[in-house]
């Protein structure tokens, strides 16, 4: 039965190869093996992307997780977003035995973004204060356990209410994207560690989602949590829970916004930030959630970093992503010929 399944898969792949134009069959096809969740596959591998990829000589092939990875392929690129220690080990071993294959991205580098304590540290360590603007991270505190001690710990740390509470683990699950806003000291005891507490920064109810694909940068506006006034603090109490805040339905690109709020971060600042993060994180596929402090023009805060985000929501992602995949193979061939 298993042999039959493998034969069918091989036949399907041969048919896909034959369906490419003859000129592309003669030239080198770029074979991209992908290991994604069913949800990610559906959102990312949309028909328009696959169609454009085929026209450019790129073939996407699903990786069978029930078979040894080395027995599959050959691949030029491995694209993945799966969690679990076993998968990370398989991929690391594959990287060692197949150095000719580009793995997007190295598992050890991705792990850095699975913990919100370490996620923003590289941004905090940067010195990006220049004429284009200042980039920082909100003051934050990690609570591993014991919710009853949170009010005292917050008081000692000097954090200012309200506080945004986020799960410590950022593994891409729906739960890891949930957040809460705590308005008073007493309500802090209702939170569920392990978590990260961030000072809430008023930002006009708009965040900038900065998608990074290699050296390409695309910015979109998303509606976010509204500003909190002093009156809100004096009249509100408790913990307010929110689902995932930035989503496709919350696009603010076509909304009638105050120009001071809607103005995108300066391009040179984003380019410098993206370049430094690519270098420090060792990643090529990620996005940043950035806010501008309300009432300022050049004070920005990075509040989250995500690996392999929902590129299907990014305008023109099909062209940007296929060009990126081609650039990887072209740069590798240049290195070989040198």
Per residue in 106-158, pLDDT (tens digit) is 999 998 899 998 899 889 888 776 768 999 999 999 999 999 999 999 999 99
Strand partners, 301: 136, 291
Q: In the Cβ-directed half-sphere of 312, how many Cα atoms lie within 13 Å? A: 16
Looking at residue 36, what is its pLDDT? 96
The bridge status of strand 163-167 relative to strand 195-199 is: antiparallel
| DSSP-based three-state secondary structure for 161 | coil
**What CATH number was assigned to the domain covering residues 30-105+321-337?**
3.40.50.11370
Which residue shows structure tokens 């650039």?
327
Q: Give Dmax over CA atoms of the chain in angstroms.
A: 71
Question: Which residues are annotated as part of the binding site?
Answer: 40, 81, 116, 166, 177, 198-209, 224, 289, 304, 306, 310
Question: What mean pLDDT value characterizes the chain?
Answer: 87
Question: Which residues are annotated as part of the binding site for 1D-myo-inositol 1,3,4-trisphosphate?
Answer: 40, 81, 177, 209, 306, 310
Question: Which residues are annotated as part of the binding site for ATP?
Answer: 116, 166, 198-209, 224
Give dist(CA 104, CA 44) in Å, integer. Answer: 15
The domain spans of the chain are: 30-105+321-337, 112-307
CB 238 within 8 A of CB 185: no
Query: May I ask the CATH class of domain 112-307?
Result: alpha beta
Q: Cα-flanking dihedrals φ and ψ of residue 289, to 5°?
A: -100, 120
Cβ atoms within 10 Å, residue 189:
14
**N- to C-terminal Cα separation, the chain:** 47
Give dist(CA 134, CA 51) in Å, integer. Answer: 41
Question: Which residues are annotated as part of the binding site for Mg(2+)?
Answer: 289, 304, 306
CB 104 within 8 A of CB 79: yes
Q: Which of 231-235, 251-255, 288-292 has the highest mean pLDDT?
A: 288-292
- The predicted-structure confidence for 161-198, as pLDDT tens digits, reads as follows 999 999 998 877 777 778 899 999 889 999 999 999 99
């Amino acid at each position: 039965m298993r042999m039959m399944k493998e034969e069918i898969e091989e036949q399907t792949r041969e048919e896909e190869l034959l369906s490419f134009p003859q000129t592309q069959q003669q030239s080198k096809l770029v074979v991209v093996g992908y290991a994604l969740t069913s949800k990610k596959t559906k959102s990312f591998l949309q028909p328009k992307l696959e169609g454009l990829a085929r026209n450019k000589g790129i073939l996407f092939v699903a990786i069978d997780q029930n078979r040894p990875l080395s027995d599959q392929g050959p691949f030029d690129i491995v694209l993945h977003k799966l969690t679990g220690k076993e998968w990370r080990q398989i991929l690391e071993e594959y990287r060692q035995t197949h150095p000719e294959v580009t793995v997007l991205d190295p598992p050890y580098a991705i792990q850095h973004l699975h913990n919100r304590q370490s996620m923003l540290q590289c941004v905090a360590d940067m010195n990006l204060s220049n004429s284009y603007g200042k980039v920082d991270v909100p003051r934050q505190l990690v609570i591993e356990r014991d919710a009853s001690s949170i009010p005292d710990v917050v008081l000692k740390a000097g954090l200012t209410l309200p506080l945004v509470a986020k799960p410590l683990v950022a593994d891409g699950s729906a739960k890891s994207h949930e957040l809460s806003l705590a308005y008073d000291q007493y309500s802090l005891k209702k939170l569920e560690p392990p978590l990260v507490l961030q000072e809430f920064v008023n930002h006009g109810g708009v965040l900038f989602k900065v998608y990074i694909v290699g050296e390409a940068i695309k910015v979109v506006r998303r509606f976010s949590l509204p500003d909190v006034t002093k009156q809100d603090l004096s009249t509100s109490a408790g913990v307010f829970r929110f689902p995932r805040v930035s989503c496709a339905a919350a696009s603010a690109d076509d909304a009638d916004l105050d120009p001071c709020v809607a103005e995108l971060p300066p391009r040179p600042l984003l380019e410098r930030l993206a370049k430094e993060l690519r270098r420090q994180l060792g990643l090529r596929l990620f996005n940043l959630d950035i806010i501008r402090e309300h009432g300022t023009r050049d004070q920005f805060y990075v509040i989250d970093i995500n690996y392999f985000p929902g590129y299907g929501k990014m305008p023109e992602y099909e062209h940007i992503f296929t060009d990126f995949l081609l650039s990887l193979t072209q740069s590798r061939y240049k290195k070989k010929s040198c």
